[in-house]
Amino acid sequence: MDRAEALVREMEEAGIDASIDIYHTMMDGYTMNGDEDKCLVVFDRLKECGFTPSVISYGCLINLYTKIGKVSKALEVSRKMESVGIKHNMKTYSMLINGFLKLKDWANAFAVFEDVVKDGLKPDVILYNNIIRAFCGMGNMDRAIRTVKEMQKAWHRPTTRTFMPIIHAFARSGDMDKALEIFDMMRMSGCIPTVHTFNALILGLVEKCQMEKAVEILDEMALAGINPNEHTYTTIMNGYAALGDTGKAFGYFTKLRNEGFELDVFIYEALLKACCKAGRMQSALAVTKEMSNQKIPRNTFVYNILIDGWARRGDVWEAADLMQQMTQEGVRPDIHTYTSFISACCKAGDMLRATKTIEEMQAFGVKPNIKTYTTLIHGWARASLPEKALKCFDEMKQAGLQPDRAVYHCLMTSLLSRAAVAESYIYSGILSICREMIESGLTVDMGTAVHWSKCLRKIERGGGELTEVLQKTFPPDWNLAHGLDVTSDIDSENENENDNDEDEDDNVIYPAVNTDGNGENDDDNIEMNHRLWF
């Protein structure tokens, strides 16, 4: 743009009048740079030179504001344009719709589309593609597919961009049959799949842990003469990382390197996930050394993966060392970092350090979330301190957090496994939690119900208020399969043995608490949203 400005000055000094197209070109250039101030200067200069702004002039401003996310400003320009008698064309309408799509404001995107129809304009391919994106964003996939057919009836040939959001939406929702069906529909329409199309399919299959099919897509790419890119391989690596298959993850890493792709932090993250999932922490350390050799700094996400890896092994010293390294390197811990470290403390039985970590994170302005509290409750349960678990549960609710199924499961299992008749506060705590679960409409699975029932018989052998309330959280078919009259005598001989079993906690089924550092509910899920794939 500096050189462009210099050329305009040369024209002025040479007495050459710039045409309105020159001004539009300059405005478009500043739009690409997101330079609002200079774009407005050129617009004012255009008027000073005696030109009347046209639909193109206003369109440049609308394009600027939608690109920088100021859609309200774009609407102001739109109203100003209409007030001086200039009507919208397909391009300006498409710009407005695209602006609303970026904000995921589907309602206003459709409102603009209705204006297009009212003005008697015939939608073009770009507008159809944007409307299809809106339908996919809303989750209205049937309407998106119908729009493709309407497009074809209007003699508009769909492009790869037409089908991409539909394929991607089906893939993300896990409906791979539909995604592949639309993929075939795209090819039958004469559209040549791109690497991005194949990447959408691979991503969907990886998220469903269908790695064999994901690798088959790679073979289809080769047959279609399309070379995988780094995103393709990284997605496959992430899939194998979730399974803890370090061999295959490293195999695709080798392919990436051999094919000359630039190795970035996201590729190394996939390798680290594979190593930590498989418990190969020495291999993970080797990967971090390789990152250092490649001058790739470790970010928060990388540290989260490593801390979680040590947390799985209950190695609080290695996890603490990584926390210290983060501070030294100026990398700020987030909620996932702290939750993973608290998990390491709990597994090591160091509840004092776990409690101090909660205080430390709050001092740094990081608030504990549901997973943090669940991890801590689980820790107190393992330490055979149900009163501490109850206190932690109350603190969680006081913090304004709504308990989820995992929290209730963990806390109830702890209380029932450790409860004694004389401990009235535990008895009342169990009653209170049961009632909360009933109010929330939560029920447990049959396996949990059986375990809780066995624990319950040690507290109320002949039944009672606790038995009556707790059984309301059991599956609907519990009374048919395990009626109280039937179960009260089951395993009566074994109960005396188990009463003195010091290792009873080993049989307690606690819910899986994810401390991957990725914020998901399942350890096997992959956080891929931290990067744009297409």
Say whether both 2 and 97 belong to one domain: yes
Question: What CA–CA distance (Å, rounded) separates 449 from 482?
Answer: 10
Helix or strand (DSSP H, E) at 156: none
Residue listed under structure tokens 């000094």: 13
Measured CA distances, 210 to 205, 233, 234, 236 (Å): 5, 15, 15, 10
Cα dihedral: 338, 340, 345, 351 (round 10)? 60
| Residue at 7 is within a domain | yes
Say whether both 154 and 211 belong to one domain: yes
- 179-184, Cβ contacts within 8 angstroms, sequence gap of 24 or more: 179/204, 182/145
pLDDT mean over 350-366: 89
Of 120, 128, 135, give the one whose Cα is nearest residue 156. 128
Tens digits of residue pLDDT in 396-433 = 888 888 888 888 888 888 777 765 544 677 777 888 88
| pLDDT, position 335 | 92
Tens digits of residue pLDDT in 205-263 = 888 888 888 888 888 888 888 888 888 988 998 888 888 888 888 888 888 888 888 88
SS3 label, residue 526: coil
Which band of pLDDT confidence, cut at 50, 70 and 90, is reported for residue 482?
A: low
| pLDDT, position 342 | 92
| Residue at 44 is within a domain | yes
94 Cβ neighbours under 8 A, 6+ residues apart: 124, 126, 127, 130
* Cα angle, residue 201 at apex, residues 199 and 207 outer, rounded to 5°: 100
317 Cβ neighbours under 8 A, 6+ residues apart: none
The alpha helices in 441-525, defined as continuous H runs, are 446-459, 465-470, 478-481, 484-487, 492-499
pLDDT mean over 156-175: 84
| pLDDT, position 336 | 92
| pLDDT, position 480 | 55
Q: Which amino acid is at 481?
A: A
pLDDT value at 116 more than 60: yes
Say whether both 127 and 49 belong to one domain: no
Measured CA distances, 230 to 195, 257, 272, 294, 305 (Å): 10, 10, 17, 17, 21
Say whether both 16 and 85 belong to one domain: yes
Residue listed under structure tokens 């009463």: 499
Classify burial at 431, counting beta carbons within 10 Å of its beta carbon; exposed 0-12, middle 13-18, buried 19 or more.
Answer: middle
Which band of pLDDT confidence, cut at 50, 70 and 90, is reported for residue 463?
A: low
- Number of Cα atoms under 13 Å in the Cβ half of residue 46: 24
pTM over 0.75: no
| Residue at 210 is within a domain | yes
Tokens representing 279 are 């418990």
Question: What CA–CA distance (Å, rounded) separates 422 from 404?
Answer: 29
517 against 437, higher pLDDT = 437
CATH number of the domain where residue 147 is located: 1.25.40.10
| Residue at 136 is within a domain | yes
Of 203, 205, 206, 183, give the one whose Cα is nearest residue 193. 183
Domains in the chain: how many in total?
2
Query: Is the C-alpha dihedral spanning 370, 374, 375, 377 positive or negative?
Result: positive
Single residue among 228, 260, 286 that ends a domain in this structure: 228
Say whether both 36 and 73 belong to one domain: yes
Query: Is the C-alpha dihedral spanning 306, 308, 314, 318 positive or negative?
Result: positive
Single residue among 228, 245, 266 that ends a domain in this structure: 228
Q: Residue-wise over 466-484: b if at least 16 C-beta within 10 A, else e?
A: bbebbbebbbeebeeebeb
pLDDT mean over 183-210: 85
Which band of pLDDT confidence, cut at 50, 70 and 90, is reported for residue 341?
A: very high
Question: What CA–CA distance (Å, rounded) separates 268 from 252?
Answer: 12
| Residue at 55 is within a domain | yes
Query: What's the whole-number average pLDDT of the chain?
Result: 80
Say whether both 85 and 134 belong to one domain: no
For the ranges 126-135, 314-323, 450-459, the lowest mean pLDDT is seen at 450-459
The answer to whether residues 342 and 379 touch, using CB atoms and an 8 Å cutoff, is yes
SS3 label, residue 525: coil
Of 462, 494, 456, give the one whose Cα is nearest residue 478. 456
Say whether both 7 and 69 belong to one domain: yes
Give the chain's largest Cα–Cα span: 107
For the ranges 308-312, 375-379, 381-385, the lowest mean pLDDT is seen at 381-385
Write the DSSP symbol of residue 473: G
pLDDT mean over 338-346: 91
| Residue at 216 is within a domain | yes
- Number of Cα atoms under 13 Å in the Cβ half of residue 312: 19
Question: What CA–CA distance (Å, rounded) separates 464 from 458?
Answer: 12
Say whether both 49 and 143 belong to one domain: no
| Residue at 372 is within a domain | no
Say whether both 69 and 29 belong to one domain: yes
Q: Which amino acid is at 251?
A: G
Single residue among 101, 134, 169 that ends a domain in this structure: 101
| pLDDT, position 423 | 64
Domain containing 73 equals 1-101
| Residue at 344 is within a domain | no
Which band of pLDDT confidence, cut at 50, 70 and 90, is reported for residue 321?
A: very high
Question: What CA–CA distance (Å, rounded) separates 420 from 524?
Answer: 37
Question: What CA–CA distance (Å, rounded) separates 316 from 344?
Answer: 5
| pLDDT, position 481 | 52
Residue 476 CA to its chain's centroid (Å):
33
